[in-house]
Chains A and B, each alone.
Chain A
Amino acid sequence: MKTSRQILTIFLVVSLFASFNFGIYKLVTVRLSNNFSSATQAQMIDVGRYLPHTEGSDLPKINSTLKLENDLPVLDGAAALVPVYAAVIDNVYPEGCVTYEGGKFSDDNYYGENFAPDSAMQYKNTVRGYKAIVDGETDILFCASPSEEQKKYAEEQGVELVYVPIGLEGFVFFVNEKNPIDGLTTEQIRKIYAGEYTNWADVGGANRIINPVTRLKGSGSQTAFEMFMGDCKIARKSPLAMIGGSIGFSFRYYMDGIVENENVKMLSLNGVYPSAENIQNRSYPIVVQFYAIYRADNDNENVPALIDWLLSDEGQTLIEESGYVRIN
């Protein structure tokens, strides 16, 4: 073979691989950022925005009649509920009880859990938070319903957890802002995740594969999603779905009030948009409760006092002003 042909052959081989990798990069890799990378810290939650007793924080202020001074219950919770329990500390706890040591993210610290061990505020998110409450590291956990595994872990450890519903939230589905679909029915969504509908054209959208995205097992939104699906089995999706048009799920305020990503939009379900008003009047079809959770054997008297206060008009007002919907 002539040298020129040989060089051309090598060039073509390299070009073929380069094109393939470039395609994967544009379609998939460029969209992937680890939760602990700087690019997605802001997409999870910027805890620094919600630090109690800090000037310029985004926390609401009310005139609380409950003021705790000693035996402060340690509060922890899900990413979506950081604004709620941080606001509780801000309004009820004394200054100096929270020590935040910065937002360093790493393989062992996905969520920037950099609160000092003696800090009254912690942030372990749902999966680690449930373990922490069972293990006695936290006094009150603010979370959505537990998964079966989390209930089982508590049982295995011989721990009884008390779940007190303190607010309402909408479980929402969302798509890219440019996806022409603005709403679906709950039945259509179940069929998408069950693998019956695999193309957006099946539900009146563009001719493009659907990528039904799920989340980390045991996370609050994944557990809520599994409850929504009920007996409907979640299908294994095609590898090609990775390059399709995605649909995902989350909680309303996490999407709308915390992350505020303008490139995604929440879908109406059965013709009803997940606004705070539609969640409060229950016209939105998937309304879930979120809880203050504590160990039944916790003997800190401030735990029931704080729970009672959360259910009072003052506590409910704080929940509402934190962006969520009151339970009553």
Chain B
Amino acid sequence: MKNRTFLVILFLVMALCVALTVAHVIYAIYAYKHCSIIYFIGKELW
């Protein structure tokens, strides 16, 4: 694979990963504001 091709693919993969991670974090913040805290605390890992 040419270096240029590789860098383009790498950039696209990273962009996709960042977008998915941001979406995940935004969902988590939104859901946290609306979630049942009893359920939230009950599912805590100890």
Is there contact, CB below 8 Å, between B24 and A21?
Answer: yes
Q: How far is the CA of A17 from the CA of B28 in the complex (A)?
A: 16
Question: Nearest Cβ in chain B — how far from A228, in angstroms?
Answer: 16
The answer to whether A264 touches B38 (Cβ under 8 A) is yes
Give chain A residues whose Cβ lies under 8 Å from the Cβ of B24: 21, 24-25, 29
Residue of A17, A32, A178 near B20 (CB, 8 A) is A17
Establish whether residues B28 and A246, one from each chain, have CB atoms under 8 Å apart when the complex forms. Answer: no
Is A27 positioned at the interface, with any CB of B under 8 Å from its CB?
A: yes
Q: In the complex the two chains form, is B14's CB within 8 Å of A13's CB?
A: yes
Contact assessment for A20 and B43 in the assembled complex, using a CB-CB cutoff below 8 Å: no
Tell me whether B28 and A29 are in contact (CB under 8 A).
yes
Q: Please tell me if the beta carbons of B6 and A6 are within 8 angstroms of each other in the complex.
A: yes
**CB pair B39 A10 closer than 8 Å:** no
CA distance A176 to B40 in the complex (A): 9
Size range of the interface on B?
A: 20 to 34
Please judge, given known A-B contacts A17-B20, A32-B28, A33-B35, whether A27 and B45 are in contact too, CB under 8 Å.
yes
Q: Are B34 and A26 in contact (CB under 8 A)?
A: no
B44 and A174 within 8 A (CB) = no
Q: Which of A17, A31, A175 interacts with B17 by CB under 8 Å?
A: A17
Contact with A along B10-29 (1 / 0, CB 8 A): 10011001101100110110
Contacts of B21 in A (CB 8 A): 17, 20-21
What residues of chain B lie closer than 8 Å to A235, measured between beta carbons?
none
CB within 8 A of A33: which of B13, B20, B36?
B36
Complex contact A32–B40 (CB within 8 A)? yes
A38–B45 alpha-carbon span in the complex (Å): 22
B13 to chain A, nearest CB (A): 6
- Please tell me if A207 contacts chain B, counting CB pairs below 8 Å: no
Cβ distance A320 to chain B, nearest Cβ, rounded Å: 24
Q: Are A21 and B31 in contact (CB under 8 A)?
A: no
- Structural contact, A176 and B44, CB atoms closer than 8 A: yes
Q: Is A30 an interface residue (CB 8 A)?
A: yes
Q: Which of B3, B10, B28, B42 contacts A10 (CB 8 A)?
A: B10
A-side residues, CB < 8 A to B, are 1, 3, 6, 9-10, 13-14, 17, 20-21, 24-36, 39-40, 43-44, 110, 174-179, 213, 215, 242, 245-248, 250, 255, 259, 261-264
- A selection of 20 A-B contacts at a CB cut-off of 8 Å is A6-B1, A10-B9, A17-B18, A26-B45, A27-B45, A28-B28, A29-B28, A31-B40, A32-B31, A32-B35, A35-B34, A110-B34, A174-B38, A176-B41, A178-B44, A245-B46, A246-B40, A248-B37, A248-B41, A264-B41
Q: Which residues of B contact A (CB under 8 A)?
A: 1, 3, 6, 9-10, 13-14, 17-18, 20-21, 24-25, 27-28, 31-32, 34-46
The 5 closest A-B pairs by CB, nearest first: A263-B42, A178-B46, A17-B17, A32-B31, A43-B36
